[in-house]
Structure 1
Amino acid sequence: MAKITYIEHNGTPHEVEVKAGLSVMEGAVKNNIPGIDGDCGGACACATCHVYVDAAWRDKVGTAEDLEKSMLEFAENVEENSRLSCQIVVSDALDGLVVRMPESQH
């Protein structure tokens, strides 16, 4: 399990343990984290799980592939550190990961 901190757009943190093999989005949905809907169920077919990955974790979560990049075009306020949380697979190496939600997701 990895401890992940999800930070709402207003600064409210939610620290939860997420089982390895699940996506960061699945961890949020299973723990009722506000701001991450995952409307497509993790199929990379929407942008309702958009997050900003803290700088210290960007290398560890990897880079977005082409499909994810095209889906991010539908998200608001995309930044250099934007990712779809459904495309980040949790592993023990992500213990301590911090992601933030954009203001448009509340």
Structure 2
Amino acid sequence: MPQVHWIMSNGDRVSDDVNDGTNLMDAAQMNGIPGVAGECGGCLSCATCHVYVDEVWLAACPPMDEVENAMLDIVIAPRQSGSRLSCQLMASAALDGIVLHVPD
């Protein structure tokens, strides 16, 4: 099982093993991560699951599609180079150990 690490803006850290194929928004909600609302349920229509992928993990992430890119233009927290919607990232061996920073 891949491990995911979430780091909150206050420095608190939560880590958990996540089943392969689980999107990281669902994993965040299962772990009670504040700030990952996922109001649309992962349908790529709300941008409330915005996270910052730690820079060392960006290359391991799948490419962003046009819809996700457009949705990141409406996020509340500032868009950064590591901005992704966690509903579009799936737990996998390639992302084992990924670090996600949760914006305020």
Provide the TM-score with structure 2 as the length reference.
0.94
The aligned residue for residue 24 of structure 1 is: 24
User: Post-superposition shift, 1:65?
Assistant: 0.7
For the residues of structure 2 that align with 1:9 and 1:63, how far apart are their CA atoms?
Answer: 25
The question of 1:51 aligning with 2:51 is answered yes
User: Post-superposition shift, 1:72?
Assistant: 0.7
Structure 2 residue runs without a partner (length 5+): none
User: Post-superposition shift, 1:63?
Assistant: 2.4
User: Post-superposition shift, 1:46?
Assistant: 0.8
1:68-101: per-residue Cα shift (whole Å, max 9, x none)?
0111111030001100000011112211100001
1:27-85: per-residue Cα shift (whole Å, max 9, x none)?
10111111211111000101111000011110111221100011111103000110000
The aligned residue for residue 14 of structure 1 is: 14
For the residues of structure 2 that align with 1:82 and 1:24, how far apart are their CA atoms?
Answer: 14
For the residues of structure 1 that align with 2:22 and 2:97, how far apart are their CA atoms?
Answer: 15
The question of 1:80 aligning with 2:81 is answered yes
Provide the TM-score with structure 1 as the length reference.
0.92
User: Post-superposition shift, 1:17?
Assistant: 1.0
For the residues of structure 2 that align with 1:39 and 1:55, how far apart are their CA atoms?
Answer: 26
